[in-house]
């Protein structure tokens, strides 16, 4: 299927004119909109067809907003991966990667709205995965700090002689 038929149809029709003389007209249909043009010469006809094809190709272009959102989501997924999210939050991280893949696929199919939605979900899932990984690292560091403090207390009690109450 060519790009002109992917978005709309371009076809010529013989339409009845005044009396017995018929005139050719060019119809460009995109969705619910039909543009009708009655060219007077073959070169004008060619220009109208080329214009319609350019319009169709322009409609098929990828959404710049979706590209931007996908780039942001991709950066979030990379940050989450570097923070240890695949081990600390495997479910959230896998969801982020899946949503990012769906966003790229929708954008490649020129589905702007689904691409934006998938990219936003991927960004959120990646941030949750990254935050979960950071939380686990902070909890581990706090537990290690508590253990070292307890060891210091124990060592301090052993090193100091027992204090006798003064009478």
Q: What is the pLDDT of residues 6-57, one digit of tens each?
A: 444 444 444 444 433 444 555 555 554 555 555 555 555 555 555 555 544 4
Q: Is 154 exposed, middle or buried (0-12, 13-18, 19+ CB in 10 A)?
A: exposed
- Find the CATH number of the domain harbouring 118: 1.20.1270
Give how many domains the chain has, as a whole number: 2
pLDDT score recorded for residue 158: 85
How confident is the prediction for the chain on average, in pLDDT? 75
Instruction: Report whether 6 contacts 55 (CB < 8 A).
Output: no
Would you state the structure tokens that stand for residue 84, as one six-digit string?
Answer: 């240890």
Phi-psi bin for 13: left (phi > 0), alpha (psi -120 to 50), beta?
beta
* CA distances from residue 55 to 2, 62, 134, 143 in whole angstroms, order as listed: 14, 14, 49, 63
Percentage of the chain exceeding pLDDT 90: 50
Q: Is residue 99 located within the same domain as residue 132?
A: yes
The CA distance from 36 to 96, in Å, is 47
Find the distance separating the first CA and the last CA of the chain, reported in whole Å. Answer: 103
State the residue range of the domain holding 33.
Answer: 3-59
Inside any domain, residue 75: yes
Please name the residues in contact with 58: beta carbons below 8 A apart, sequence gap of 6 or more.
none
Percent of the chain at pLDDT exceeding 70: 59
Contact in structure between 53 and 100 (CB atoms under 8 Å): no
Regarding whether 18 and 94 lie in a shared domain, the answer is no
Strand 22-30: give its sheet, edge to edge: 8-16, 22-30, 33-37
In a domain, 164, yes or no: no
* In the predicted structure, residue 108 carries a pLDDT above the cut 50: yes
The pLDDT assigned to 53 comes to: 53
Q: Give ∠ CA 98-99-102 in degrees, rounded to 5.
A: 90
**Three-state DSSP class for 53?**
helix
Q: Say what the pLDDT of residue 148 is.
A: 93
């Amino acid at each position: 299927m060519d790009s002109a038929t992917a978005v709309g149809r371009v076809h010529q029709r013989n339409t009845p004119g005044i009396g017995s003389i018929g005139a050719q007209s060019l119809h460009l249909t995109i969705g619910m909109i039909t543009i009708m043009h009655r060219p007077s010469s073959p070169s004008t006809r060619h220009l109208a067809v080329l214009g319609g094809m350019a319009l169709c190709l322009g409609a098929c272009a990828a959404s710049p907003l979706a590209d931007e959102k996908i780039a942001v989501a991709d950066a979030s997924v990379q940050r989450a991966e570097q923070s240890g999210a695949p081990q600390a939050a495997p479910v959230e991280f896998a969801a982020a990667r899946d949503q990012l893949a769906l966003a790229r696929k929708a954008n490649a199919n020129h589905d702007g709205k689904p691409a934006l939605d998938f990219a936003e979900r991927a960004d959120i899932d990646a941030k949750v995965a990254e935050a979960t990984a950071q939380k686990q690292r902070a909890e581990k560091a706090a537990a290690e700090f508590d253990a070292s403090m307890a060891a210091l207390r124990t060592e301090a009690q052993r090193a100091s002689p027992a204090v006798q109450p003064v009478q």
